[in-house]
A = this chain, B = another copy of it.
Amino acid sequence: MKYSFRNDYSELCHPEILSALIAAQNEQNIGYGLDIHTENAKRLIQEKLQSNNCDIHFVTGGTQANATIISHILRPYEAVLSCESGHINVHETGAIEGTGHKVYTVAGQDGKLSPTDIINALTYHTDEHMVKIGVVYVSQSTEVGTVYSVAELKALYECCKENNLYLFIDGARLSSGLAASDVEFHMLKDLCDVMYVGGTKIGMMSGEAIVLFNEQLKPYFRYHIKNRTAMLAKGFAIGIQFERAFQDNLYFEMGKHENELAHFLSHELKSLGVPLLSESPTNQIFPILSKEEIEELKELYDFEIWGEVEDKIAIRFVTSWATTKEACIELIEDVKNVISK
């Protein structure tokens, strides 16, 4: 096989991040995220956020971050509101429900929620015989590669605040999501109550940075992390990675790189006449091909089958920090050959 466009977590980690780990090899560090690297990482993230009073905690993976945050926010009778396509609804094997909470879903549009969706959900839940919506879950970028604009997030957050709801932004692909929208990293402190800054899908070996902006959510979060089995003994292994990623603009450049190559791919595919399922501005694109074409491509490349579109099939190409222009050019060549048969 030539190359995998299956996802953005196929490569170990960015060489700069590996170098940072290697550099720390002969150190002794305190456990459980109380070390100096983690401390630095937090400070550097705060600097980029232009905020020195948010609380930051590191966990290893996305599902873990989602379940830890949501179960920290909610009381037993409360539910999280999500798009039907939301990662917590579909692809977490009931992990949120495993913490005791309903994921209440609405259809949404292009993988996104609107204030109207929130109001409708609240209106539907009238009394104590139904769950109480407690937190709204969105992701930047979304499961289908779309992004929220500043205006959209502001409107959502206003709506949440007016209705005593928390807003949580899942940033598994935040770097790519920011590079594709008008949302700048530092703005996020005013656009939600809590978010996580994804590492696993943005060039790190593992690790997500949970950022708590809302004072209400800060107390005892370390207890909660441990209770949810998400506290890592060698927390410094994650601290070191985030320290490096936020030392300069590495974290943000990785997302830009991903998007640029994805744009190149979508532009070239459209030039070849290959339709795309959606106009995704981020690092996931969804070309539509025939079954035969896909069979041929599968021998050369790894990618995900997304779903049927009439008599054809949508597939997903994901670019990562490690994807090269060369690999993309070769892919386009091969698609060209395949579809011209």
User: A232 at interface (Cβ–Cβ under 8 A)?
Assistant: yes
- In angstroms, how far is the closest chain B Cβ from the Cβ of A138? 20
Residue of B nearest to A229 (CB): B64
The reply to whether B61 and A231 form a contact with Cβ atoms under 8 Å apart is: yes
The reply to whether A92 and B226 form a contact with Cβ atoms under 8 Å apart is: yes
| A12: contacting residue among B24, B99, B102, B302, CB under 8 A | B24
- In angstroms, how far is the closest chain B Cβ from the Cβ of A310? 18
CB contacts (< 8 Å) of A64 on chain B: these are: 229-230
Residue of B nearest to A10 (CB): B28
- In angstroms, how far is the closest chain B Cβ from the Cβ of A19? 10
CB contacts (< 8 Å) of A236 on chain B: these are: 12
The reply to whether B25 and A93 form a contact with Cβ atoms under 8 Å apart is: no
CB contacts (< 8 Å) of A99 on chain B: these are: 76, 100
User: A130 at interface (Cβ–Cβ under 8 A)?
Assistant: yes
The reply to whether A228 and B229 form a contact with Cβ atoms under 8 Å apart is: yes
- In angstroms, how far is the closest chain B Cβ from the Cβ of A317? 14
CB contacts (< 8 Å) of A227 on chain B: these are: 76-77, 92-95, 98, 131
| A30: contacting residue among B6, B62, B206, B322, CB under 8 A | B6
Q: Assuming the A-B contacts A6-B30, A27-B11, A29-B10, are A61 and B233 also in contact, with contact meaning beta carbons closer than 8 angstroms in the complex? A: yes
User: A103 at interface (Cβ–Cβ under 8 A)?
Assistant: yes
User: A114 at interface (Cβ–Cβ under 8 A)?
Assistant: no
- Interface members, chain A 185-241 (any B CB < 8 Å): 200-201, 205-206, 220, 222-234, 236-237, 240
The reply to whether B25 and A21 form a contact with Cβ atoms under 8 Å apart is: no
User: A9 at interface (Cβ–Cβ under 8 A)?
Assistant: yes
Residue of B nearest to A124 (CB): B90
Residue of B nearest to A87 (CB): B129
CB contacts (< 8 Å) of A98 on chain B: these are: 76-77, 100, 227-229
| Docked pose: A240 CA to B12 CA in angstroms | 10
User: A275 at interface (Cβ–Cβ under 8 A)?
Assistant: no
The reply to whether A28 and B4 form a contact with Cβ atoms under 8 Å apart is: yes
CB contacts (< 8 Å) of A78 on chain B: these are: 94
- Interface members, chain A 38-71 (any B CB < 8 Å): 60-64, 67-68, 71
The reply to whether A97 and B95 form a contact with Cβ atoms under 8 Å apart is: no
CB contacts (< 8 Å) of A13 on chain B: these are: 25
| A220: contacting residue among B15, B75, B103, CB under 8 A | B75
- In angstroms, how far is the closest chain B Cβ from the Cβ of A99? 8
| Docked pose: A63 CA to B75 CA in angstroms | 19
User: A18 at interface (Cβ–Cβ under 8 A)?
Assistant: yes
23 contacts between A and B (CB under 8 A): A9-B31, A9-B234, A11-B27, A11-B29, A12-B240, A18-B22, A30-B302, A64-B229, A64-B230, A67-B229, A72-B76, A75-B224, A77-B93, A77-B94, A77-B220, A94-B101, A95-B229, A99-B100, A200-B233, A205-B237, A206-B234, A206-B237, A229-B230
